[in-house]
């Protein structure tokens, strides 16, 4: 089993640091309870099991091109004043 530190785990799932934090924060609208919990690997160091991150990614919904276009349109609407 391989444990990835936060920065490598974040890169593995392809997220910005802020979103990586948000999906783990229960108070955030982006919270994802299915995201793997960190493990303590030292007094102040945490990491993530690589295989758990891989499983989480495999279970994410696939985005079709049509769905992706719809998501982009919705994002653009939110930016309008």
pTM for the whole structure: 0.72
DSSP assignment letter at 64 = -
pLDDT given for residue 68 in this prediction: 64
Q: Are 9 and 45 in contact (CB under 8 A)?
A: no
Residue 1, pLDDT score? 87
Cβ burial of 48 (10 Å; 0-12, 13-18, 19+) is: buried
Provide the residue ranges of all domains of the chain, joining segments of one domain with +. Answer: 3-79
Q: Contact 47/36 with Cβ under 8 angstroms?
A: no
Query: pLDDT tens per residue, the chain (81 residues)?
Result: 899 999 999 999 999 999 999 999 999 999 999 999 999 999 999 999 999 999 999 988 776 666 666 766 766 766 655
Query: Is-contact 47 5, C-beta < 8 A?
Result: yes
20, two tokens: 């990586």
Task: Give the chain's count of helices (H) and strands (E).
Answer: 4, 3
């Amino acid at each position: 089993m391989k444990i990835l530190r936060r920065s490598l785990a974040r890169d593995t799932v392809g997220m910005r640091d802020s979103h990586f934090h948000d999906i783990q924060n229960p108070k955030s609208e982006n919270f994802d309870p299915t995201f793997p919990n960190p493990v303590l690997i030292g007094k102040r160091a945490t990491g993530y099991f690589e295989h758990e991150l891989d499983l989480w990614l495999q279970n994410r919904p696939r985005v079709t091109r049509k769905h992706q276009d719809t998501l982009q349109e919705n994002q653009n609407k939110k930016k309008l004043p």
